[in-house]
A and B are shown apart, each in its own frame.
Chain A
Amino acid sequence: MIEIEGVTKIFGVGAEAFTALDDVSVTIDANEFFTLLGPSGCGKTTLLRVIAGFIDPTRGRVTLDGNNLLNQPPYARPVNTVFQSYALFPHMTVAQNIAFGLEMLGKPGSEVTSTVDEMLALVRMTEMADRKTSQISGGQQQRVALARALAPRPKVLLLDEPLSALDFKLRKDMQLELKRLQSETGITFIFVTHDQDEALTMSNRIAVMNEGRIRQIGGPRDIYDHPAERFVADFIGDTNFLDVELLKVEGEQAHIRLPSGSEVVARAAQGGGRTGGEVTVAIRPEHARMDEAEGALFQGALSNVVYVGTDTHYHIDLDSGGQFIVRQQNQPDQRHERQVGERVGVNFGAGIGQILKD
């Protein structure tokens, strides 16, 4: 179990001071697949470097199974990193790179050889074992970096966008492989990615970061279905935002009035939030239904119909102003084609809309 408490990192001093991590606190369980998701420059790599020991935080504590990590040098921490820049040793072969950590741990030669072979097979690099790292492609380098960090079986594996250079097919395969490995070995994975689909499919929990802060932590479903604030809703997936009036809050249930005058029950903001007045509600395009205008929660005119294979996206100009997108799965026997300009209505069920904190 890794406990990160109030970690703050300020680079530089005075006018040039830049806060890369701002009071980050999170507890990551043993054998968890934990993902840090956020836009470029939000501090993901910085947080990994604090855990690995290459950066001392300005403030805060990091413990692993109750032991303070911050007073241990990087080589004493049972933590391995897959570097964003790979950082493979250019004067060694692929196999020597993978063997390095095991040799440093003083493992016997036979064990080193067998583990290296196992790792090579895992990342499908067996034929390239004797190549220099400058003689393999970017994606192959990335796989070697992964194998090298996995080989010593650390307690915690830090992965800084480890699949970013792979093609779609290999990436999907490696995602499954990583997931399998993680559940088999019991290693805690802290995984950094830009890619929301990757985060949603692989993680036990996700921390969404922005500007050095964790904005929301939760399982993939929590994050996707119940974003806490606008940034999270916007960063992950497509979302419709509606400005509504909050009538009353009863536990998880929030009664709201839409601009059209209809009233509906939405999910209350995470961790409190306002109890009345103007709020924003977020609704995923696939969670809403397009219906006849008559009797719907709100109405508008169809401004665009985009066919994307599995789905069709309906763009609707709302009577109350603004746009709303509904995504519907296509059926093979679908007869009725909607026409641009047609008047349509939108419905969504009770508890579907999520009130945002901000």
Chain B
Amino acid sequence: MSKGGFDVRRQTGFTTVAVFCFVVLYLPIILLVLYSFNAGESIAIWEGFSWRWYVSAWENERVQAATVRSVVVALSASLIATSSAVLAALATTRTRPWRGQTLAFALINQPLMVPEIVTAVALLIFFALVKVWTGYTGLAYLIIAHSAFCLPFAYMPIRARLQGMDLSLEQAGADLYGTPFKVFRRITLPQLWPGILAGAMLAFVISLDDVVITEFVKSAGQDTLPTYMLGQLRRVITPEINAISSALLAISVMLVIGFFFLSRTPK
């Protein structure tokens, strides 16, 4: 470390601010996880270690249904979002610049910019109309909505990966008699996989975690895990909520770690 150079660690108060931020961020989470193991009924008074709230959450049929629904929606949405993202990323990196490319880019990323609540209300109204026309009230609405707002999260890592890829490899593939489809399958796709998996994981986590849009779009009896938890907060809160949250946290952390490893550039 150079002497006398600017070193943020030496600036007065930096350490204090940093520590404060970490405490505010992580202390509540640590407490949440801690109390998920509470033997008592309270989320504030420690009465000893126990797995009872995990067991109770596991055996709760409404939690089971909400979990299955969350996973189904998240899997379907990340699948749809990732497939569309692959096509969108190819169209925005592997073609000659076309008219409206910037617009398309903005549209893909729209969910990042429009306030979620606005999207939620808009979808609520739109889907209400569709429900009247079609009479269909299944999970598809949730899956479509989730696919839409997961798209930019799936798109980003895939696009980054494509942009980092050497265009001359695809040219070499074409030079060696590979038709565009074969070149995509044999050359582009194998190198794109880490980006695709990373995008899918990110989309999965984002979908799994969503409250606002889900709350507006879901029909009666279509609670996902987060909206179920939101509903529980209006009643008596038990450490069961902590247990569910901790489980969600564990899944998300694992996926984010996976994402991190996949989106690292090779070597």
- Interchain CB contact under 8 A, A91 and B191: yes
Cα A85 to Cα B172 in complex, Å, equals 11
Residues of A within 8 A of B178 (CB): 75, 100, 104
Nearest chain A residue, comparing its CB with the CB of B165: A90
- Tell me the chain A residues, 78-96 only, with Cβ under 8 Å from chain B: 79-81, 83, 85, 87-91
Q: Is A105 an interface residue (CB 8 A)?
A: yes
Mark each residue of chain A from 49 to 75: 1 if its CB lies under 8 Å from any CB of chain B, else 0. Answer: 000111000000000000000000111
Q: Given A100-B186, A104-B182, do A87 and B171 touch, yes or no (CB 8 Å)?
A: yes
With A89-B187, A91-B191, A104-B182 known as contacts, the answer to whether A54 contacts B171 (CB < 8 A) is: yes
- 8 Å CB contact of B174 from A73, A88, A134: A73
List the A side residues contacting B183 at CB < 8 Å.
75
Q: Most chain-A CB neighbours within 10 Å: which of B166, B176, B183, B267?
A: B176
Q: Which residue of chain A has its CB nearest to the CB of B171? A: A54
B191 touches A152 (CB 8 A): no
The reply to whether A74 and B171 form a contact with Cβ atoms under 8 Å apart is yes
A83 lies within 8 A of B191 (CB) = no
Interface check B175, CB cutoff 8 A: yes
A52 touches B175 (CB 8 A): yes
- Give A52 to B190 CA distance when docked, in angstroms: 25
**A44 contacts partner chain B, Cβ-Cβ < 8 Å:** no
B176/A90 in contact, CB under 8 A = no
With A87-B166, A104-B182 as contacts: A80 and B175 at CB distance below 8 Å: yes
Tell me how far the C-beta of A116 lies from the nearest C-beta in chain B, rounded to whole angstroms.
13
Please give, as numbers and ranges, the residues of chain B lying within 8 Å of A149 by CB-CB distance.
Answer: 175-176
Q: How large is the interface on A (under 10, 10 to 19, 20 to 34, 35 or more residues)?
A: 20 to 34
Q: With A74-B171, A87-B172, A100-B186 in contact, do A105 and B177 touch (Cβ < 8 Å)?
A: yes
Q: Are A74 and B186 interface neighbours, CB within 8 A?
A: no
- Looking at the assembled complex, report how far the CB atom of A311 sits from the nearest CB atom of chain B, in whole angstroms: 42
**Which A residues are CB-close (under 8 A) to B267?**
134
Q: Nearest chain-B residue to A78 (Cβ)?
A: B177
* Contacting residues, chain A, for B179 (C-beta < 8 A): 75, 104
Task: Pick the residue among B173, B177, B182, B186 that contacts A152 (CB under 8 A).
Answer: B177
Q: Does A101 contact B (CB under 8 A)?
A: yes
Interface centre among A54, A74, A76, A134 (most CB of B within 10 A): A74
Residue in contact with B172 in the complex, picked from A73, A81, A91, A152, CB distance below 8 Å: A81
Contacting residues of chain B (199-232) with chain A, CB-CB under 8 angstroms = none
Q: Quick check: is A148 within 8 A (CB to CB) of the other chain?
A: yes
In B143-198, the 8 Å CB interface with A consists of 166, 168-169, 171-180, 182-183, 186-187, 190-191
Please give the distance in Å from A87's CB to the nearest CB on chain B: 4
CA A91 – CA B191 in complex, angstroms?
7
**In whole angstroms, how far apart are the Cα atoms of A275 and B169 in the complex?**
53
Which of B168, B179, B182, B267 has most chain A Cβ within 10 Å? B168
Tell me whether B173 and A100 are in contact (CB under 8 A): yes
Say which residue of A76, A91, A104 sits within 8 Å of B176 (CB atoms): A104
B residues near A81, Cβ cutoff 8 Å: 172, 175
- CA gap between A100 and B171 in the complex, in Å: 13
Q: How far is the CA of A104 from the CA of B267 in the complex (A)?
A: 29
Q: Could you mark each residue 302-326 of chain A with 1 if its beta carbon is under 8 Å from any beta carbon of chain B, else 0?
A: 0000000000000000000000000
Question: How many angstroms between the C-alpha atoms of A149 and B187 in the bound complex?
Answer: 16
Note all chain B residues with C-beta closer than 8 A to A54. Answer: 171, 174-175
Q: How many Å lie between the Cα of A88 and that of B187 in the bound state?
A: 10
- List chain B residues, Cβ under 8 A from A79: 175
- Which A residues lie within 8 Å of B173 (CB)? 89, 100
In the complex, the answer to whether A101 meets B176 with C-beta atoms within 8 Å is yes
A83 to B167: give the CA distance in the assembly, Å. 12
Beyond A90-B191, A91-B190, A91-B191, whether A85 also contacts B176 by CB under 8 A is no
Interface string of B1-19 (1 = CB under 8 A from A): 0000000000000000000
How distant is the Cα of A80 from the Cα of B177 in the complex, in angstroms?
A: 9
How far, in whole Å, are A87 and B168 apart by their CA atoms in the complex?
A: 6
Interface contact B168-A104, CB-CB below 8 Å: no
Bound: A263/B182 CA distance, A: 69
Nearest-Cβ distance from residue A49 to partner chain B, whole angstroms: 9
A10 nearest CB across to chain B (Å): 16
Q: For B175, list chain A residues within 8 Å (CB).
A: 52-54, 74-75, 79-81, 149
Find out whether the CB atom of B168 lies under 8 angstroms from the CB atom of A83. Answer: yes
B177 touching A101, Cβ below 8 Å? yes
Write the nearest CB–CB distance from A73 to chain B, whole angstroms.
7
Task: Give the Cβ gap from A2 to chain B, nearest Cβ, in Å.
Answer: 16
Between-chain CB contacts (< 8 Å), 29 pairs: A52-B175, A54-B171, A54-B175, A75-B174, A75-B175, A75-B177, A75-B183, A79-B175, A80-B175, A81-B172, A83-B168, A83-B171, A83-B172, A85-B166, A87-B168, A87-B172, A89-B187, A90-B191, A91-B190, A100-B173, A100-B176, A101-B177, A104-B176, A104-B178, A104-B179, A104-B182, A134-B267, A148-B172, A152-B177
Residues of B participating in the A interface, judged by any CB pair closer than 8 Å:
166, 168-169, 171-180, 182-183, 186-187, 190-191, 267
The 6 closest A-B pairs by CB, nearest first: A101-B176, A104-B177, A87-B172, A87-B168, A74-B174, A91-B190
Q: A90-B191, A149-B176 are in contact. List 5 more A-B contacts (CB 8 A).
A: A75-B174, A75-B177, A89-B169, A89-B187, A134-B267
